[in-house]
Amino acid sequence: MQTPWITMDYWLDGWIVVIAILASVSAAILGNFLVLRRLSLLSDAISHSILPGLAAAYLLTANRYSWTALIGAIAVGLITVWLTELIGQYGRVDEGASTGIVFTGLFALGLIMIVQAADRVDLDPNCVLFGDIELSPLDSIVTSIGVIPRSAIVLTVCLLLNTLFVVLLFRLLRIATFDPQLATSLGVSPRVLHYALATLVAITSVCSFEAVGNVLVVTMFIVPPTIAFLLVNRLPMMILASVGVAALAAVVGHLSAVAVPLMFGYKSTSTAAMISVVSGIFLALAILFNVKTGVMVQAFRRNQLAWSILRQDILALLFRDSERGQAARSLRDITTTLLSQSWITAMALRGLVWRGYVTRVNDQTSSQASSSSNSTVGYTLSNDGRRHAQNLVRSHRLWEQYLATTGTQLDRIHAQAETLEHFTNPALRQQLDSETQQPQSDPHGKAIPPEEK
């Protein structure tokens, strides 16, 4: 595919994307249970601390592709979990501290051993950390269905293993994750499942190391499941969502690694690194805009609530004016009374006029009318607005009466009722009316208006 600014090779770039997807999805499937168990750091610990096992296998066999490397990595991964629990138990430190102690020590040892192994084996320490996914398709195997990169075969087996583990043991994993005590009472050992999960994390890390490197593996264990956790509420949907996010990040990450640097006059950058960056961007977007707890969504909801309260305060103010016989009130008067800003009050009034709750009038008797002018624009309630305002004032005065019967001081009931009135529906008003024995007036002697349908 040729465009003015990017050139793609279908075979090479296609396999890069496939390998990235396989590695990302394999890690994300297991990462859901790590995130839910609050063991996210454990994936980082295992993926770093298995380096001594890999290096030992390289030193013994002088071969990067051997079962010895896998066995060594799994062994060190389980040792990491065991040492973490041991230090936490006898050192009386929290799990995060014990995990950090173990994986930093084993990671440093692994780096030293990797450097020594590099002299005897065709092994680049940087590839272990950052991977070399761009060259993975070149290491291919001829099969009956065609030429397939070795990494793709290995990661496919890894993905199938992780998928079978989650599907077959899903019920047990869910129970052990959310209620370990219940799992124990049912004869399920959370400890055994924990070590099985740690074993698969180690296997996934080993399978992904040379292709995508340590950085991307750690990212995909944590970031897609975290995004899914922010977006959905049920575990099956969380797993599916994390898989989708991981696959999308792999595709967008590779395209960005090729295209974005070229747009600024640079050569393409590391696909694995760019996938991690894209995943971070996805996470930032989820934090900002997810429906449940998104920062921007919550800010929008708070803003909408503030506007709704201001509009209701205006309606209540105009209703009380009508009770006193005041025909209309000016924008300046409303702003001063409600301690609001003029432009905010003006926008709220426009919204009420648009909804048909408030009517604009030329009021010659407004308290703010200038002696040098014949009239000033004022605002008064329409019939629809009066119905809404009457129920709002009714809510306020019922709350004042109810709070007075509970022994609340009279000088405090107005402020409390002013807050509660905005969250009172007809059913609650009926309950308040019944609890206060259907009063005709509030504690201040003001009439409680009837309910308007």
Q: By the 8 A CB rule, do 254 and 261 touch?
A: no
> What is the dihedral sign for C-alpha 438, 443, 446, 451?
negative
Residue 205 structural domain: 10-291
Kindly report, residue by residue over 25-34, the tens digit of the pLDDT: 999 999 999 9
Angle value at C-alpha 291, between 289 and 294, nearest 5 degrees: 45
Euclidean distance between CA atoms 66 and 343, whole angstroms: 72
Q: What is the mean pLDDT of the chain?
A: 83
Do 245 and 368 reside in the same domain of the chain?
no
Do 272 and 186 reside in the same domain of the chain?
yes
Do 135 and 235 reside in the same domain of the chain?
yes
The CATH number covering residue 347 comes to 1.10.10.10
Do 270 and 307 reside in the same domain of the chain?
no
Do 283 and 216 reside in the same domain of the chain?
yes
Residue type, 65: Y
- Select, from the ranges 28-37, 56-65, 113-122, the one with the highest average predicted confidence (pLDDT): 28-37
Kindly report, residue by residue over 256-284, the tens digit of the pLDDT: 988 888 887 777 788 888 999 999 999 99
Q: What is the mean pLDDT of residues 71-75?
A: 77
Kindly report, residue by residue over 6-51, the tens digit of the pLDDT: 566 677 888 889 999 999 999 999 999 999 988 887 777 777 777 7
Angle value at C-alpha 24, between 127 and 102, nearest 5 degrees: 60
- Which of 291, 323, 340 terminates a domain? The answer is 291
Do 308 and 277 reside in the same domain of the chain?
no
Do 282 and 304 reside in the same domain of the chain?
no
Distances (CA, A) of 405 to 168, 401, 402, 421, 437: 60, 6, 5, 17, 11
pTM for the whole structure: 0.79
- Which of 291, 317, 344 terminates a domain? The answer is 291
**What's the number of domains the chain is made of?**
2
* The pLDDT of residue 353: 93
Q: What is the CA radius of gyration of the chain?
A: 33
Do 112 and 255 reside in the same domain of the chain?
yes
Do 128 and 243 reside in the same domain of the chain?
yes
* The pLDDT of residue 260: 84
Q: Which residue shows structure tokens 């465009």?
A: 3
Do 287 and 333 reside in the same domain of the chain?
no
Kindly report, residue by residue over 174-226, the tens digit of the pLDDT: 998 888 888 888 888 888 888 888 888 888 888 887 677 777 888 899 999 99
Residue 65 has pLDDT above 70, yes or no: no
Residue 373 has pLDDT above 50, yes or no: no
440 in any annotated domain: no
* The pLDDT of residue 62: 61
344 in any annotated domain: yes
